[in-house]
A and B are shown apart, each in its own frame.
Chain A
Amino acid sequence: MKTLKNIYENIGLPRLIIGLFFIFLVVTSIVLGFSPAALFSDVLRRWLMYGTLVLAMVPGIQSGIGLNFGISLGISAGLLGSVFAMEISFLRNWNEVLGAGAPWLTLLLALLFGIIMAAILGTLYGMLLNRVKGSEMTVSTYVGFSVIAFMNIVWLSLAFKNGELSWPLQGRGLRNTASLSGSFGGLLSNPDVVQSTQPAWLHWLAFKIGDFTVPLGLILVFALLCFIVWLFFRSKLGIAMSAAGENQLFTTTTGINVDGKRIQGTAISTVLGAVGIILYAQTYGFLQLYNAPLMMGFASVASILIGGASVRRAKISHVLIGTLLFQGILVTALPVVNEVIEIGTLPEVLRIIISNGIILYALSKTKGGNQ
């Protein structure tokens, strides 16, 4: 009885409800005749797609800035890195010159640009957050919104030659949605792309077992990122950073610059955001510019909170569980709801209710002790 209670306390009420709801949806959709293999492929794909963006929450929370609603900053850096990499790839005609290696180089270049920009922006953003201690989450929300507005101007004024990116009829400005099919789209996760563009020895990156898709490349990359973050928080620097997030006075008396650690945490969070959006775009197959990333911060925040994190403490397990539950519900709810009620927007409504409801719940628990 006591162990049962312990298990219940470890899971917590919100995760229990959402977990049961997820299981209910899965069962219902299978009863309604959907292919379980296709369904789980989809859940897995979405899980990995959003995983890194949620992972980006961890350094922010651990270093004490709280939930990083301003992850759009990292997302913007990642998107900028991607469009620059694609433009260079187009100008240098990599597809002709390098063949199957072209998308790889583009992807690496996108990551490189994205990470550098995110590191710089993240540092500045961290310095800003140090000036507004106590209201980081409010400020980060506004930073997240503002940067999207600013990037709208940037997207409109970039004059690129790559026809995949720019508006067809004008000399400047980028499209709302740019296809990555000629570039690094699906390179790590889409069996069709991998089989058709890559040499045979790379076909393990993504393959099918019956109806079930295994995006092994993406799984490995995400696992590697999780491992790096986990390892980081076992390093001297990472331990100092989590202490700074936990108790500023304690950390100061141990001779550690708390503000510096917060800046580093914010920068790492932003960099992970940049990497996250590139992996997201890679999986999705499209680069979504303009207002598309506006609410991604909220989805990430909601995911990690569902996973059991608080605004002060987060673990990798919270990322994994939270993303699975949050994305899983969205994936399974769509077909089920469409079958039951014929209103097209209901899954979207569901998503908003779940994500905002969870954020509200978690914020109301902010002051609730250390347990």
Chain B
Amino acid sequence: MEDQYLLSMNNISKEYYGNRVLKGVNLKVKPGEIHALVGENGAGKSTLMNILFGMPVIYSTGGFEGEIQMSGESTSIDCPHTAMNCGIGMVHQEFMLIPEFNVTENIKLGREIGEPTAFSKIFGNLLDKMNWPQMSRDARKALDSIGMMNIEEYAKVAGMPIGYKQFVEIAREIDKTGIKLLVFDEPTAVLTEGEADRLLEIMRLIAQKGIAIIFITHRLTEVMAVADSMTILRDGEFVARKDVKEINLARIAELMIGRKVDKLVDDSLLRSRDLSDDKIALEFKNYHVDMPGERVKGMNIKIREGEIFGFGGLAGQGKIGIANGIMGLFDTQGDVYAFGKRLDLSKLGEALRNDIAFVSEDRRGVGLLLGESIERNITFSAMQIKNEFLTHIGPIKLLDKAKADQHTRDMIKLLDIRCTGTSQAAGSLSGGNQQKVCLARAITMDPKILIVSEPTRGIDIGAKKLVLEYLTKINREQGTTIVMISSELVELRSLCDRIAIVSEGKVFSVMKPDDSDAAFGLAMAGVREEEAA
């Protein structure tokens, strides 16, 4: 029976600029069911939800293929307003509340109850008088229905604990008449453990009222605790729809990650060094980085000389913060030692002066001078830190154009940077070539430790292979210690000696590249193997 489902999205496909992000995905949700949507970063969860809500971003990029049915009837949801009328609500990850308004005002925002007045009869209902008692009662009712007796409907939202704000959001969705389906997008990501438990309880409460819930989360334990069924996506493809009863954590993790580790790098180069625990290149002791959204909270790890070391983990868990702290973009605490020497990261350029070079994950924002030439981009760091490419005339240090030019041409050849010449502006290169320029700048420093953050993000497959191969090459030939931070587990597993999975700002576990998919999946989700059994 098709119409036993409240929502069924059939065979949904979506393309962004020729890049297929969803490939025939199905999503079916029954009334009163808590349905989990799981998958790695970039598996297509957000895109699927954007389609469900008819977000403008979908339609401005050419719409989607496939069909959406609500209660068995084909529905076209072409704007968020239609979605709302269909009874679909969303609890956002970032709260969409107005801090200076009180709870009632926030819950009733846009759906205020008015009483006609003399003015409004003439000028329209925008001039209605607000019916505060009725609105307060509604807000109260919504709050009570999710068991939030202790939130006052007249309290200001500003200054509330984060958990409460989340509950106010939920109450707002519940208060909408005719709500049939609620989407929770990573609702527990910002909550404390107690608050998260409370939230799961509330989700059950809501489901009991017959409202269906789509629950998007990375925390697989929560899925096991609260969901009835789940859909697993991987790389934009539909993997499976399972009932929670018939599956365990390890199996979910395996389905999420899948068998897809191809060796991106030629094997002949791999694994032929002696790595020793006595020779440590980089050591973090209780390392904190205050980077919003990617906080590192007390990391301890030793990286051996000559090693290719990977940091993996989900977005927002702090892996990106590791590199940004060393680069000096965000405040750090704790100790970082390079070859036994403690780095004072509050001093600008400290890492660079100690033979640590990096390639930022934010190419356009941090990694490049977009308006300047390839040559300037490649030679800049070495010039400023090591006084290379300069001629000295007394106290004046002038650019040695010929030398810089020659070096740039060498680099262009070495890394196969596709450009019109050394003077082409870096901003006009393609993503892959920009990344090669960033890499060229880092290796011009001739570093002992090279930290690369998301080295293959947004670049084509050819450039990807070249970049990864080159990293391996300088590791094998020059003994450069390479620290690679990446969201792409495949990549890490294809060339790293060890991989640390970062979860909640700490190293969750250090794994070998040939550990099982399930082990990686569980580590990414922050679940110990003994818990999963």
Q: Smallest CB–CB gap between B453 and chain A, Å?
A: 11
Contact residue among A231, A234, A246, A369 (Cβ-Cβ distance under 8 Å from B369): A246
Complex CA–CA separation, A257 to B384 (angstroms): 12
Q: Contacts A236-B397, A246-B369, A250-B367 known; A255 to B349 CB distance under 8 Å? A: yes
Q: Smallest CB–CB gap between A371 and chain B, Å?
A: 7
Contact with B along A227-244 (1 / 0, CB 8 A): 000010011110110110
Q: Please, which residues of chain B bring their CB within 8 A of the CB of A252? A: 328-329, 348
Once the chains bind, are A255 and B369 in contact (CB under 8 Å)? no
The yes or no answer to B414 lying at the interface (CB within 8 A) is no
The yes or no answer to A313 lying at the interface (CB within 8 A) is yes
New A-B contacts (16) at CB < 8 Å, excluding given A236-B390, A254-B381 = A235-B398, A237-B397, A239-B380, A246-B370, A247-B365, A247-B366, A247-B368, A249-B329, A249-B366, A252-B348, A253-B327, A254-B352, A255-B350, A371-B425, A371-B427, A371-B428
Q: Please, which residues of chain B bring their CB within 8 A of the CB of A313? A: 371
Contact residue among B353, B358, B425 (Cβ-Cβ distance under 8 Å from A370): B425
Once the chains bind, are B369 and A243 in contact (CB under 8 Å)? yes
Q: What are the 6 A-B residue pairs with the smallest beta carbon separation, nearest first?
A: A255-B349, A236-B397, A370-B427, A249-B366, A253-B327, A370-B371
Contact with B along A22-58 (1 / 0, CB 8 A): 0000000000000000000000000000000000000
Q: Contacts A239-B380, A246-B371 known; A254 to B396 CB distance under 8 Å? A: no
Q: Smallest CB–CB gap between A153 and chain B, Å?
A: 41
**Nearest-CB residue, chain B, relative to A237:** B397
Q: Which of A250-297 contact B (CB under 8 A)?
A: 250, 252-257
Once the chains bind, are A254 and B371 in contact (CB under 8 Å)? no
Once the chains bind, are B396 and A255 in contact (CB under 8 Å)? no
The yes or no answer to B372 lying at the interface (CB within 8 A) is yes
The yes or no answer to A318 lying at the interface (CB within 8 A) is no
Once the chains bind, are B384 and A256 in contact (CB under 8 Å)? yes
Complex CA–CA separation, A236 to B390 (angstroms): 8
Contact with A along B217-250 (1 / 0, CB 8 A): 0000000000000000000000000000000000
Once the chains bind, are B372 and A246 in contact (CB under 8 Å)? yes
Q: Please, which residues of chain B bring their CB within 8 A of the CB of A234? A: 398-399, 401
The yes or no answer to B423 lying at the interface (CB within 8 A) is no
Q: Please, which residues of chain B bring their CB within 8 A of the CB of A236? A: 383-384, 387, 390, 397-399
The yes or no answer to B385 lying at the interface (CB within 8 A) is yes
Once the chains bind, are A370 and B387 in contact (CB under 8 Å)? no
Q: Smallest CB–CB gap between B414 and chain A, Å?
A: 22
Q: Please, which residues of chain B bring their CB within 8 A of the CB of A15? A: none
The yes or no answer to B8 lying at the interface (CB within 8 A) is no
Once the chains bind, are B384 and A240 in contact (CB under 8 Å)? yes
Complex CA–CA separation, A8 to B371 (angstroms): 20
Contact with A along B463-484 (1 / 0, CB 8 A): 0000000000000000000000
**Nearest-CB residue, chain B, relative to A247:** B369
Tally of contact residues, A, Cβ under 8 A: 24
Q: Smallest CB–CB gap between A270 and chain B, Å?
A: 22
Q: Smallest CB–CB gap between A159 and chain B, Å?
A: 42
Contact with A along B330-373 (1 / 0, CB 8 A): 00000000000000000011101100001010100111111110
Complex CA–CA separation, A114 to B349 (angstroms): 36
**Nearest-CB residue, chain A, relative to B364:** A247
Complex CA–CA separation, A239 to B387 (angstroms): 12
Q: Which of A197-234 contact B (CB under 8 A)?
A: 231, 234
Q: Contacts A239-B383, A239-B399 known; A249 to B348 CB distance under 8 Å? A: no
Tally of contact residues, B, Cβ under 8 A: 35
Q: Contacts A235-B397, A313-B371 known; A253 to B385 CB distance under 8 Å? A: no
Complex CA–CA separation, A235 to B401 (angstroms): 11
Contact residue among B362, B368, B371 (Cβ-Cβ distance under 8 Å from A312): B371
Q: Please, which residues of chain A bring their CB within 8 A of the CB of B506? A: none
Q: Which of B376-409 contact A (CB under 8 A)?
A: 376, 380-381, 383-385, 387, 390, 396-399, 401
Complex CA–CA separation, A234 to B397 (angstroms): 9
B contact patch SS:
mixed
Q: Contacts A236-B397, A255-B352, A370-B427 known; A250 to B385 CB distance under 8 Å? A: no
Once the chains bind, are A254 and B369 in contact (CB under 8 Å)? no
Complex CA–CA separation, A234 to B376 (angstroms): 11
**Nearest-CB residue, chain B, relative to A234:** B399
Complex CA–CA separation, A255 to B355 (angstroms): 13
Q: Please, which residues of chain A bring their CB within 8 A of the CB of B367? A: 250
Q: Smallest CB–CB gap between A17 and chain B, Å?
A: 25
Once the chains bind, are B368 and A250 in contact (CB under 8 Å)? yes
Contact residue among A239, A242, A246, A255 (Cβ-Cβ distance under 8 Å from B348): A255
Contact residue among B348, B368, B428 (Cβ-Cβ distance under 8 Å from A256): B348
Q: Can you identify 14 A-B contacts, CB atoms within 8 angstroms?
A: A235-B397, A239-B384, A240-B384, A242-B372, A247-B368, A247-B369, A253-B329, A254-B385, A255-B352, A256-B348, A312-B371, A370-B370, A370-B371, A371-B427
Complex CA–CA separation, A371 to B387 (angstroms): 30
Complex CA–CA separation, A257 to B348 (angstroms): 7
Q: Please, which residues of chain A bring their CB within 8 A of the CB of B352? A: 254-255
Complex CA–CA separation, A249 to B364 (angstroms): 10
Complex CA–CA separation, A231 to B394 (angstroms): 14
Contact residue among A239, A249, A254 (Cβ-Cβ distance under 8 Å from B365): A249
Q: Smallest CB–CB gap between B106 and chain A, Å?
A: 30
Complex CA–CA separation, A242 to B383 (angstroms): 14
Q: Please, which residues of chain A bring their CB within 8 A of the CB of B399? A: 234-236, 239
Q: Smallest CB–CB gap between A212 and chain B, Å?
A: 37
Complex CA–CA separation, A246 to B368 (angstroms): 10
Q: Please, which residues of chain A bring their CB within 8 A of the CB of B427? A: 369-371
Once the chains bind, are A254 and B349 in contact (CB under 8 Å)? yes
Q: Please, which residues of chain A bring their CB within 8 A of the CB of B390? A: 236
Q: Smallest CB–CB gap between A319 and chain B, Å?
A: 18
**Nearest-CB residue, chain A, relative to B392:** A236
Q: Please, which residues of chain B bring their CB within 8 A of the CB of A370? A: 370-371, 425, 427-428
Q: Smallest CB–CB gap between B46 and chain A, Å?
A: 26
**Nearest-CB residue, chain A, relative to B358:** A253
Complex CA–CA separation, A312 to B371 (angstroms): 10
Once the chains bind, are B366 and A243 in contact (CB under 8 Å)? no
Contact with A along B299-332 (1 / 0, CB 8 A): 0000000000000000000000000000111000
Q: Smallest CB–CB gap between A240 and chain B, Å?
A: 6
Once the chains bind, are B366 and A253 in contact (CB under 8 Å)? yes
Q: Smallest CB–CB gap between A90 and chain B, Å?
A: 38
Q: Please, which residues of chain A bring their CB within 8 A of the CB of B360? A: 253
Q: Please, which residues of chain A bring their CB within 8 A of the CB of B371? A: 246, 312-313, 370
Q: Which among A237, A239, A240, A257 has the greatest number of chain B C-beta atoms within 10 A?
A: A239
Q: Please, which residues of chain A bring their CB within 8 A of the CB of B381? A: 254
Q: Please, which residues of chain B bring their CB within 8 A of the CB of A369? A: 427
Complex CA–CA separation, A18 to B329 (angstroms): 44
Complex CA–CA separation, A254 to B348 (angstroms): 8
Once the chains bind, are B369 and A256 in contact (CB under 8 Å)? no
Contact residue among A235, A243, A249, A256 (Cβ-Cβ distance under 8 Å from B349): A256
Q: Smallest CB–CB gap between B420 and chain A, Å?
A: 13
Complex CA–CA separation, A249 to B425 (angstroms): 18
Q: Please, which residues of chain A bring their CB within 8 A of the CB of B362? A: 249
Complex CA–CA separation, A231 to B467 (angstroms): 36
Q: Please, which residues of chain A bring their CB within 8 A of the CB of B369? A: 243, 246-247, 250
Q: Smallest CB–CB gap between B191 and chain A, Å?
A: 31
Once the chains bind, are A235 and B396 in contact (CB under 8 Å)? yes
Q: Please, which residues of chain B bring their CB within 8 A of the CB of A235? A: 396-399
Contact residue among B372, B384, B387, B428 (Cβ-Cβ distance under 8 Å from A254): B384
Complex CA–CA separation, A243 to B369 (angstroms): 7
Complex CA–CA separation, A235 to B389 (angstroms): 11
Q: Smallest CB–CB gap between A184 and chain B, Å?
A: 30
Q: Which of A82-97 contact B (CB under 8 A)?
A: none
Q: Which of A338-371 contact B (CB under 8 A)?
A: 369-371
